[in-house]
Amino acid sequence: MSSLRLLARARFLVPSPSLNYVPRSSRLSVLTAVAHSHISRLRPLSSLSLSSKPPPRSCKLPLRPAFASAPAPLIVSSRRYCSHASFRHRLANMTDRDILPDTFKPAHYDLVIKDLDFKNWSYKGSVRIDGELVKPTKDIVLNTLELKLLNSNIVVTQGKSEQSWESTTFAEDTKTQRSTITFPEELPVSTNVSLTIDFTGELNHDMAGFYRSQYKPAAPAAPSVPRDDEFHYMLSTQFEACDARRAFPCFDEPNLKATFDLALEIPEDQVALSNMPQKETKPVDGGKKVVSFERSPVMSTYLLAWAVGDFEYVEAFTDREYNGKKLPVRVYTTRGLKEQGRWALEHAPKIIDYFSEQFEIDYPLPKSDILAVHEFTHGAMENWGLVTYRMTAILFDEKLSEARFRNRIAYVVAHELAHQWFGNLVTMDWWDELWLNEGFATWAGWLATDHLHPDWEVWPQFINEGMDQAFSLDSVRSSHPIQVEVRDALDVNQIFDKISYLKGCSMIRMLASNLGNKTFLKGIAIYLKKNAYGNAKTEVLWDSLSEASGVDVNSMMKPWIEKIGFPVLSITEGKQQISVKQSRFLSTGDVKPEDDQTTWWVPLAVKGKVGSEGIEPLTLTTKEATFDGISEEFYQLNSNATGFYRVNYPESRLKLLGTQLDHLTTEDKIFITGSAADLAFSGYATTGALLSFIQGLKGETHYRVLSQALDSIGTLKSIFGDDEQIKNGLAKLTLELIDKALKQVGWESAKDEDFNTGLLRKRLLLTAVVNSHEEVTAAAFERWSAYQSNPSASPIPADLRAPIYRAAILKDPSATVKALKHEWFTTPAIDGKEICLQALGHTGDEDIIKTTLLPFLFNTSPPAAATDVIPPGDMHIFAGVLSTNRTGRPLLWAFLRDNWDQFNAKLGGNPILVDRMVNVSLPRFTDTETLADIERFFGPGGVSTKGFDRTLEQVKDKIRGRAAYKARDTEGVRAWLVGNGYA
């Protein structure tokens, strides 16, 4: 899944007739026959299932997928995922994990979904699971959630003997999300078993499992599309991490891989999609049809996907051929939106070709579909062959969308397509190694984006937006190692975070930089080939990289992956030498001996060694070491910011670096600014040193460098800004910092300007408005007034909406809030709702926040219109901005606290959404009184924190750090501002 600040949680080839999976019975003929016997009157579900007789086991599992184009050695042998010994081995060293019993090993699922009921939002289904019984048992335990099991049958074949048992005895444990099927007598061990279950399920509205999304149609829809007032509905799935069990009974663990056959009974005028291409479509009675799909590759349950709706598509093809054919790539949307998929479609085929070349394995499936989903928890989900996306992560309107979404879409598409190899083809063995999926996909996503758009300078973007967030989370005591113990899979959603994604990416980037990209990618190819269609652990990746490089990668990377935190390197200068000492960095600065037990392998990447004009690949492998031959005039550590650590230079050296900007790359400037900000926050260095370095950047015009400096000043304003003298002084410094660049870019864009200049213009104009630049604010409000008077004659350019909306909020909050709420209701722009919510969150009027905006967030008063409600998946956008607002922050917390049950109900109990709201709403407080209130509310006897307890501890640590910084350095900040003429 994709999740970054750009966002915030990613093979198909022609079948070969010579190799086949488990033979399948003629399910479609059965379905059609039943349909013509009045299917709508609901015959027993077993009549829609496969035959209870298991398939012959002479070819029970493939040695390789039928449609794989890679040579046979690339495909994991049957031993990896079908032998008894292999299955039992998965339990080795896992005794502390809460996993399913090692009784039944699934190999293949045959799933039928039928009787979609759009009135009661329910459906019926039947699944046959072929596999092995590896020990005698009366009980089969598998995962279910919010399903009703109706009946079950199991057929066990031993040689020529076949026995069958039926059961309607089901015991459901909702806490563990498991059901136990008890049969009348003990079942014998067998490698040839078929378990069939009939069930019913719910088409929920919780963005998990098999669920419905509501939307306002952009064009007339097919007659059968479900609708409610002005809303229409589409159906889709979201199974990662543990929600396949919401849609059908299954063995829902990542290392219990299997193949899948799927058939969907749907209205005849709607479209069905799944991982694989459609195999056949047959009409049935009642205006319906049954769509069956080709058999999937061996994969984890969380990667299965399907969707039903009023879909249309745009299509393109790869340049490369796969199995003798160019690969079809489609972007699907609900009717009326397909043209907004063109930007994504321009990228996806190129990215597939690029990754196929870089990873030395062709994309393994016969198609690649993209689906825009109207209500979506994450940024995107990498379902194999059917990737699903949040609307703003995939659709772009050339006339109405903001330019920054080009960058977002290109990256997210690349991230999800990287998953088709790293995560789907080779899957982490268990959730504690989630970073193998997400860290690599994040790195590869940036790699591909940089390949397609070198002018975007995405690696400086990653340092500014990605690494900085990883540093922030990993600097608190309650962070976690990249490879974190996950005993219960139901807790895994909390580690879909900046550590798994962004620190994980930083580790890959650091290692690739030190091994060399060519060598690194060679090791990746070895890893993928050896483990294709199987599961792997982190050490297997290190072994492959060691094989490619001849370097002991495991010893280098083990502390980075298995230990919490990162080091700060403290520098002591001597005559042409430096002493470097590493210790764990904590944002609170109070490192205890027990916190500082790790010694990291640290690539120093020194620039400024005497006699060398390049970067010296020195390393620190002990707690402290001295390096000779270092220039006294200029030196720098962590050149190009490839290492994941902070550098604490002597204050005089940092000040000198601020005068030597010509020696620094863009990456260097971003890194040094961020490092100085973190060191000031923690008390390792002074805020004055940070401000002096930023002061030296006042002639800077690079978007990413200025963004990092403005982010750092923004943090200072957030912490110290309730002091008017400090707030005004920081505003004066800010306007001085941006003055040169602001005059260069102005309000109007040039026809041939580069992408980053457009982003810079928006950032500078918005910064000018926020910091009370009179001329810019007046011009922005004038444009707003003209737009309000005559929208068609004076439209607001998409990239200027944020500064203009912000000026209007400041100048006329009451009228602007009303206008922006109307804009939110009516905007046709895909990204327009997000931009309106962000602007509304900056309202500083307490009465408006209380009476208008918070009720708008939670819909606590009768709505003026049916659309007067922020969808659960977007609530964090508004809340996150409101929490940056000094007036709104305490009001938001009070509202959450006093309406917790209602808030929780609105989010449908979805732990991902609750976790996200807590994470964006609370960490910016700077006082211990609010911290105490939060601890009381969520403490013993308070509300349950299951599903966000880890995040809550991180939030509390962040508040402690901010409160300590404010208490320690308020007067120091004031003194620097006064001493330098800003206050």
Whole-number Å distance between alpha carbons of 744 and 739: 9
SS3 778: helix
DSSP symbol at 432: G
- Among residues 249, 257, 299, the alpha carbon closest in space to that of 127 is found at 249
Peptide bond into 344 cis (omega under 30): no
205 annotated ligand binder: no
Q: Check if 613 is active-site.
A: no
3-state helix, strand, coil in the chain (%, to 5): 45, 20, 35
**Residues 804/795, Cβ–Cβ less than 8 Å:** no
Cβ-Cβ contacts under 8 Å for 110 (sequence gap 6 or more): 24, 27, 49, 50, 127, 128, 129, 130, 260, 261
SS3 591: coil
**Residues 730/982, Cβ–Cβ less than 8 Å:** yes
Strand ranges for 400-522 from DSSP E: 426-428
Sign of CA dihedral 232, 235, 240, 246: positive
Cβ-Cβ contacts under 8 Å for 657 (sequence gap 6 or more): 636, 649, 664, 672, 693
Cα distances from 715 to residues 165, 275, 496, 499, 617, in angstroms, run: 66, 44, 25, 21, 33
DSSP bridge pairs for 314: 331
| Cα angle for residues 652, 657, 662 (degrees, 5° grid) | 160
Six token digits for residue 466: 């990605």
End-to-end CA gap in the chain: 46
Amino acid occupying residue 7 = L
**Residues 156/163, Cβ–Cβ less than 8 Å:** yes
**Residues 385/11, Cβ–Cβ less than 8 Å:** yes
876 annotated ligand binder: no
Cβ-Cβ contacts under 8 Å for 367 (sequence gap 6 or more): 12, 276, 277, 327, 328, 329, 330, 385
Within 771-863, residue ranges assigned H as helices are 774-789, 801-811, 813-826, 832-840, 846-848, 854-858
Rg (CA), the chain: 29
822 annotated ligand binder: no
Whole-number Å distance between alpha carbons of 636 and 620: 15
Residue in 132, 202, 294, 416 annotated catalytic: 416
Whole-number Å distance between alpha carbons of 466 and 461: 7
SS3 306: strand
Cβ-Cβ contacts under 8 Å for 137 (sequence gap 6 or more): 101, 103, 186, 187
**Residues 387/412, Cβ–Cβ less than 8 Å:** no
Strands 122-133, 169-173: pairing kind: unpaired
Whole-number Å distance between alpha carbons of 166 and 196: 9
Give the containing element (helix H, strand E) for 260: strand 259-267
Six token digits for residue 124: 């019926």
Cβ-Cβ contacts under 8 Å for 230 (sequence gap 6 or more): 216, 866, 867
Whole-number Å distance between alpha carbons of 807 and 772: 9
Give the total residue count for the chain.
Answer: 983
Cβ-Cβ contacts under 8 Å for 501 (sequence gap 6 or more): 3, 4, 9, 438, 439, 442
**Residues 860/818, Cβ–Cβ less than 8 Å:** no
**Residues 798/403, Cβ–Cβ less than 8 Å:** yes
Binding annotation: 415, 419, 438
By annotation, the residues acting in catalysis are 416
Binding annotation for Zn(2+): 415, 419, 438
